Homo-oligomer: A and B are copies of this chain.
Amino acid sequence: MLKYQQIADEIEQYIEERGLQQGHKLPVLEEWIARFDASKSTLTKALELLERKGVIFQVRGSGIFVRRHKRKGYISLTSNQGFKKDLEGFKLSSKVLELDVRKPTREAASNLNLTVEDDVYYVKRVRYIYEQTLCLEESYFNKSIVTYLNREIVEESVFEYVKGGLGLKVGFSDQYMHVDKLNAEEAGHLGLQKGDPKFVMESIFYLTNGQPFDFSKVTYNYVQSQFFIQAGG
Within the complex, the shortest CB–CB distance from A229 to chain B, in Å, comes to 5
Within the complex, the shortest CB–CB distance from A26 to chain B, in Å, comes to 13
List, in ascending order, chain B residues with CB within 8 A of A23's CB.
210
List, in ascending order, chain B residues with CB within 8 A of A173's CB.
230-231
Please classify the interface of chain A as helix (H, G, I), strand (E, B), loop, or mixed, using the class held by over half of its residues. strand
Within the complex, the shortest CB–CB distance from A214 to chain B, in Å, comes to 13
A155 at the interface (CB under 8 A from B): no
Whether B170 lies near A233 (C-beta < 8 A) is: yes
List, in ascending order, chain B residues with CB within 8 A of A22's CB.
210
Whether A77 lies near B229 (C-beta < 8 A) is: yes
- Size of chain A's interface in residues, with CB distance under 8 A? 48
Contacts A78-B231, A197-B222, A231-B78 known; A57 to B171 CB distance under 8 Å?
A: yes
Whether B171 lies near A233 (C-beta < 8 A) is: yes
Give the CA-CA distance A217 to B181 in the complex, in Å: 22
A213 at the interface (CB under 8 A from B): no
Contact residues of A between 175 and 195, Cβ < 8 Å to B: 175-181
List, in ascending order, chain B residues with CB within 8 A of A210's CB.
22-23, 57, 59, 65, 67
A164 at the interface (CB under 8 A from B): no
Identify 11 residue pairs between A and B in the complex whose beta-carbon atoms are under 8 Å apart, listed by A's number: A67-B210, A170-B233, A175-B229, A177-B225, A177-B226, A177-B228, A178-B222, A179-B197, A179-B198, A179-B222, A196-B197
Top 5 A-B pairs, shortest CB-CB distance: A197-B197, A80-B231, A179-B222, A177-B227, A171-B233
